[in-house]
C-alpha cells in the first residue's frame, strides 16, 4: 500500500457532524470513503503500515532536524518544522508510524490502540485549531453525539453531555435539592476562575528559566485552590457525596488518578475539554499520521519505521544527531525526542552527560503513570444490526464504587488497584467502547463486522516475571493468566450487552508488557511520567533541555493524554525554532483561531 498525491481540492466547511476537511486520496486494496452527505469520495482505507521502512529506504545525507518517535508529539513537531521549510527525519521503532494513534488488523477486524475520544474540537478550541494547521484541514472528526459517556454504578447512572447548558441542566435535574443547587453554583464560580490559573502552569512548562521563575511568583497570587487536591476542594464546596462523585468520575477514570492527588485544575480542565462534546477521527485514528505525513514529505523529510534509535549523538554539550540500532548515524543541528523523558535521558542520552545535568537521578526518582489493559474483540455482525452505541460505557459495579456513592471519594478505588498484588485484588471497573460505532466510514470499509474494546486498570508488577520475554512468545502461564482475565471481562460485556453473546469471534488482551513493547512507554504507563511528578518536578520536564540542540516533545513535555502530547510537540517546535519562524508559526495558529472564532459567532446565530 502506498500514499498517492493528496488532492488539492479547496478546503471547505462540511455540513453535518463532521469537522472541516479537504479531500484525501489514498491508494490501497479496498473500500471507499463516505463524505458528509453520504456520497462516495476517493478511495480511502487506512494502511496498516504507514511510513518508509528503513530496511528498504535510506535516509538522506542532510537534515535540518531529527525526531525520535512518531507519536502525535513527534509528528506535530515534525510538521511544525516542515511548514517552516525544515527537512526533517522522523525515526520510529515500530513497523508503523503513529505511536498510540496507530491501528492494527487481525483477520479483517481493525482496532485503534489509543484513541477512544477527544474533546476541545469546537470552533476556535485548541485541538480544532491544531487539527486544521497540522493536517492542512485533511483530517475529519465525527461527533459522538449526546450523550458521549454513560457511567453505571449499580442502579445509578450519570452521563456526559455536550454543551455547558446541557451538562449543567443534567446535574440540576439529577440533584434538585436546594442545597445541591447552591453547591453547584459554588462549583461553577470555581470552574470559571480556574482558567486564569493556567497561564503560570503553561509558562513553567514551555518557557525558559526566567519564565519558570515568573510562573512560581504568579502561582502565589492566582487561584491557589486550583493546585489543591480535587477531593479537598469539592468536599468544601459540595456536601452531597453523590454529587461529588458525579463531578469526579470522568477525571478519575480517564487519568487513573486519585482525587486525593489530582489538582482541582485537572478536574476542571478535563470537564472543560469535553464541554463542546466528544469526537472521533473519521476513518480511524491512523488518519492522524496519514494526514500529517505528506506535509513532512513536501519539505523533503520522511518518517522511517523499523528504525529504533540507539543513541543521541553529542559533541560536548550539543546534540548533533542520532545513531540507529543498525549502526547508521544521521546528523542534524536539532534533535527532538518524543520517546518520553525516561527513555530520552535514561537510555538514549550519553550517561555521563545525563549524569552531569542531574537527569539520571531525576529519572530514577520519577514514577511512571499507571498502565491500562485493553481487550480488543471482533464481532461477526455489523454495528447497525447489533445496535452498538457510539457512546462510551463505564461499568462500575465494584464494591468500592458502590461505597463511593456514600462517601463521594474515589481515592480508595485507585489505592486498591495500585496496591493490588494480583489482578484478582484490583478493581473490576470497566470502560467499554465500540470504535466501529463512532466511525461513519466503518461499515463501508468493514461490512458485516464490528469491533469493541474494554479497558481496565492494570499493574506492571502482575506481569513482571515475563518482562524479559519476547512479545507473542511469553509462555503458557502468561497466556493462561490473560485468558482468565479475558473471561472475566467478557462476562461483564455479556452482562451489560447480553445480545452480544455468541457474536465475539476474535479477541486478544494487551497487557502493560504489550504497551511497553509496541509503544515504548516504561512499564506500559499510559501517560508517561506520572501526573503528580510532572507537577512537583516540572523544572526538568520541559521542551528545552540542558543539552544544546536537544528538545523534548510529547506527553512529558506538557501533560498526559493525546491532547497533551500534541501540545508537547508544538511546544518543542516553538522552543527549537528561531524568532522569525516561531513568529510565523504562532501567527498561522492565531489566524486559524481568529477565523474559527468568527465561524463560531455565525454558528451561534444560525442556531
At residue 445, φ and ψ (nearest 5 deg) are -80, -35
Number of H helices, E strands in the chain: 23, 22
The model's confidence at residue 420, banded by pLDDT at 50, 70 and 90, is confident
Q: What is the pLDDT of residue 193?
A: 77
Region 136-146: mean pLDDT is 95
User: Would the pLDDT of 366 be above 70?
Assistant: yes
Burial profile 22-35: b = 16 or more Cβ within 10 angstroms, e = fewer = bbbebebeebebbb
User: Would the pLDDT of 421 be above 80?
Assistant: yes
Distance CA 113, CA 388 (A): 19
Reported as a single tens digit per residue, the pLDDT across 253-281 is: 888 888 998 888 888 888 989 999 999 99
Helix (H) / strand (E) element for 575: namely helix 562-576
At residue 528, φ and ψ (nearest 5 deg) are 70, -140
Burial (0-12, 13-18, 19+ Cβ within 10 Å), 60: exposed
Q: What is the pLDDT of residue 474?
A: 93
Reported as a single tens digit per residue, the pLDDT across 29-88 is: 333 332 333 333 333 445 568 999 999 998 987 899 999 999 999 999 999 999 999 999
Percent of the chain whose predicted confidence (pLDDT) is above 70: 86
Region 124-150: mean pLDDT is 94
Lowest average pLDDT, out of 141-145, 339-343, 423-427, 552-556, goes to 423-427
Burial (0-12, 13-18, 19+ Cβ within 10 Å), 289: buried
Maximum distance among all Cα pairs of the chain, rounded to whole angstroms: 70
Percent of the chain whose predicted confidence (pLDDT) is above 90: 61
Burial profile 248-283: b = 16 or more Cβ within 10 angstroms, e = fewer = bbbbbbbbbbbbebbbbbbbbbbbbbbbbbbbbbbb
Lowest average pLDDT, out of 29-33, 92-96, 541-545, goes to 29-33
User: Would the pLDDT of 210 be above 80?
Assistant: no
pLDDT averaged over every residue in the chain: 86
Q: Domains of the chain: which residue ranges?
A: 372-457+459-510
Reported as a single tens digit per residue, the pLDDT across 429-458 is: 899 999 999 999 999 999 999 999 999 989
Q: How many C-beta neighbours within 10 Å does residue 308 have?
A: 16
Distance CA 335, CA 321 (A): 6
The model's confidence at residue 176, banded by pLDDT at 50, 70 and 90, is very high
Lowest average pLDDT, out of 33-37, 41-45, 198-202, 573-577, goes to 33-37
End-to-end CA distance of the chain: 43
Kindly give, in sequence order, each residue whose CB lies less than 8 Å from that of residue 24, ignoring residues fewer than 6 positions away: 6, 7, 33, 42, 44, 138, 290, 291
Q: What is the pLDDT of residue 573?
A: 95
Reported as a single tens digit per residue, the pLDDT across 337-346 is: 999 999 999 9
Amino acid at each position: 500500500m502506498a500514499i498517492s498525491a493528496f488532492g488539492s481540492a479547496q478546503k471547505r466547511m462540511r455540513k453535518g457532524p463532521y469537522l472541516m476537511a479537504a479531500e484525501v486520496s489514498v491508494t490501497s486494496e479496498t473500500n471507499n470513503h463516505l463524505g458528509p452527505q453520504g456520497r462516495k469520495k476517493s478511495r480511502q482505507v487506512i494502511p496498516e503500515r504507514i511510513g518508509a521502512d528503513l530496511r528498504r529506504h535510506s535516509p538522506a545525507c542532510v537534515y535540518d532536524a531529527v525526531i525520535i518517535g512518531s507519536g502525535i508529539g513527534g509528528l506535530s513537531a515534525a510538521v511544525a518544522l516542515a511548514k517552516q521549510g525544515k527537512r526533517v527525519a522522523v525515526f520510529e521503532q515500530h513497523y508503523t508510524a503513529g505511536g498510540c494513534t496507530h491501528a492494527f488488523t487481525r483477520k479483517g477486524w481493525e482496532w485503534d490502540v489509543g484513541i477512544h475520544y477527544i474533546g476541545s474540537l469546537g470552533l476556535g478550541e485548541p485541538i480544532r485549531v491544531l487539527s486544521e494547521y497540522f493536517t492542512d484541514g485533511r483530517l475529519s472528526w465525527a461527533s459522538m453525539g449526546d450523550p458521549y459517556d454513560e457511567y453505571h454504578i449499580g442502579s445509578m447512572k450519570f452521563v456526559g453531555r455536550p454543551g455547558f447548558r446541557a451538562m449543567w441542566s443534567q446535574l440540576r435535574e439529577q440533584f434538585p435539592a436546594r442545597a445541591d443547587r447552591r453547591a453547584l453554583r459554588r462549583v461553577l464560580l470555581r470552574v470559571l476562575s480556574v482558567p486564569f490559573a493556567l497561564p503560570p502552569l503553561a509558562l513553567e512548562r514551555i518557557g525558559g528559566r526566567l519564565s519558570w521563575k515568573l510562573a512560581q511568583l504568579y502561582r502565589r497570587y492566582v487561584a491557589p485552590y486550583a493546585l489543591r487536591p480535587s477531593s479537598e476542594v469539592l468536599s468544601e464546596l459540595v456536601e452531597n457525596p453523590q454529587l461529588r462523585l458525579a463531578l469526579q468520575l470522568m477525571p478519575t477514570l480517564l487519568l487513573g488518578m486519585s482525587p486525593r492527588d489530582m489538582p482541582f485544575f485537572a478536574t476542571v480542565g478535563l470537564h472543560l475539554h469535553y464541554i463542546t462534546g466528544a469526537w472521533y477521527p473519521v476513518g480511524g485514528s491512523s488518519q492522524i499520521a496519514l494526514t500529517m505525513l505528506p506535509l513532512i514529505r513536501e519539505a523533503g523529510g520522511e518518517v522511517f519505521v523499523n528504525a529504533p534509535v540507539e543513541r543521541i549523538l553529542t559533541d560536548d554539550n550539543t546534540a548533533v544527531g542520532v545513531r540507529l540500532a543498525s549502526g547508521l548515524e544521521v546528523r542534524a543541528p536539532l534533535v527532538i525526542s518524543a520517546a518520553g523523558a525516561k527513555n530520552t535521558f535514561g537510555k538514549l542520552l550519553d550517561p555521563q552527560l545525563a549524569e552531569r545535568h542531574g537527569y539520571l537521578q531525576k529519572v530514577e526518582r520519577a514514577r511512571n503513570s499507571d498502565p491500562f489493559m485493553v481487550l480488543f474483540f471482533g464481532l461477526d455482525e455489523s454495528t447497525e444490526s447489533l445496535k452498538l452505541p457510539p457512546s462510551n460505557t463505564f461499568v462500575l459495579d465494584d464494591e468500592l464504587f458502590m461505597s463511593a456513592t456514600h462517601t463521594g471519594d474515589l481515592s480508595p478505588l485507585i489505592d486498591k488497584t495500585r496496591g493490588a498484588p494480583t489482578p484478582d485484588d484490583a478493581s473490576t471497573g470497566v470502560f467499554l467502547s465500540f470504535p466501529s460505532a463512532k466511525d461513519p466510514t466503518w461499515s463501508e470499509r468493514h461490512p458485516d463486522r464490528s469491533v469493541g474494546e474494554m479497558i481496565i486498570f492494570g499493574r506492571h508488577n502482575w506481569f513482571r516475571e515475563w518482562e524479559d520475554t519476547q512479545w507473542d512468545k511469553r509462555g503458557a502461564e502468561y497466556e493462561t493468566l490473560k485468558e482468565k482475565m479475558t473471561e472475566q471481562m467478557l462476562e461483564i460485556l455479556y452482562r451489560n450487552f447480553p445480545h452480544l453473546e455468541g457474536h465475539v469471534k476474535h479477541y486478544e488482551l494487551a497487557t502493560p508488557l504489550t504497551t511497553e513493547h509496541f509503544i515504548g512507554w516504561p512499564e506500559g504507563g499510559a501517560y508517561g511520567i506520572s501526573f503528580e511528578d510532572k507537577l512537583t518536578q516540572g523544572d526538568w520536564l520541559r521542551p528545552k533541555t540542558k543539552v544544546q540542540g536537544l528538545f523534548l516533545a510529547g506527553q512529558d513535555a506538557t501533560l498526559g493524554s493525546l491532547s497533551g502530547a500534541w501540545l508537547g510537540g508544538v511546544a518543542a517546535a516553538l522552543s527549537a525554532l528561531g524568532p522569525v519562524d516561531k513568529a510565523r508559526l504562532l501567527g498561522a495558529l492565531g489566524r486559524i483561531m481568529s477565523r474559527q472564532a468568527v465561524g463560531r459567532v455565525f454558528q451561534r446565530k444560525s442556531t
